[in-house]
Copies of this chain bind each other. A is one copy, B any other.
Amino acid sequence: MLNYSASEENYIKAIYRLQRQDGTVTTNELAHELKTKPASVTDMMKKLKLKKLLRYQPYQGFRLTQEGGKVALGIIRRHRLWEYFLAEKLKFTWDEVHEVAEDLEHVSSKKLIDKLDEFLGFPRVDPHGDPIPDAHGRMETSKKIILTELPAGTPAVVSNVINQSTAILELLEHKKIIIGTRLEVKKKFEFDESLEIRIGRQPAFTISHQLAENIFVQLV
């Protein structure tokens, strides 16, 4: 496995993330995601194609090759292990870990990451509930659904929170919703799409559609 620049790695990561959704990724999508210009994306795509990390014909979208996918999983592994370290060992709050991990993830010593993994006790998910790829690039894939799509009356466990702002953290802490919380939707209100949910035996309470949109759950 060769070494890639921080910039190349950021592109690879972004393509990986976007192609999960759409299957393929366009120049504009990527430019928007990386807060850069379409022309810069085209330049980098040529470079990554040359390095055989992605397939792309002008005016079609891009997809990572097998090799590109492996590289992406390596970067994601580093990122999520550092996030876990920051939250678990250094007591960073949940909303602070991402930014610092964005820098740490580009330090690419394999030995460092494998030893860090061991030190942390081989964690399987990061502080936001995202799965951490193992040393071979394997990652747990559990079917997650958005809370807004969980049918009323079906028990589920919070597995993941997408938005990582301080604002959402404050709200979740207040509502006592954390990763692992078991909950159930009691009722969905059509008017504002708010949800009434219940945690354990406590009294039910209401959360907004905006909040529910950022929470993923797994059926239990």
Contacts and interface: CB of A to CB of B under 8 A. Distances in A.
Interface of A: 86, 89-92, 96, 99-100, 103-104, 107-109, 111-112, 115-116, 118-119
Copies in the complex: 2
B103 A115 contact: no
Please give me the 4 A-B residue pairs with the lowest Cβ-Cβ distance, nearest first.
Answer: A90-B115, A103-B107, A100-B109, A100-B112
Contact of A100 (B89, B103, B107): B107
Contacts of A96: 111
22 contacts: A86-B112, A89-B119, A90-B112, A90-B115, A90-B116, A90-B118, A90-B119, A91-B115, A92-B111, A92-B115, A96-B111, A99-B109, A100-B107, A100-B109, A100-B111, A100-B112, A103-B107, A103-B108, A103-B109, A104-B104, A104-B107, A107-B107
Contacts of A86: 112
Interface-centre pick from A104, A111, A112, A116 (highest chain B CB count, 10 A): A112
Contacts of A91: 115
A110 to B, nearest CB: 11
A118 B92 CA distance: 12
Nearest to A86: B112
A91 B100 CA distance: 23
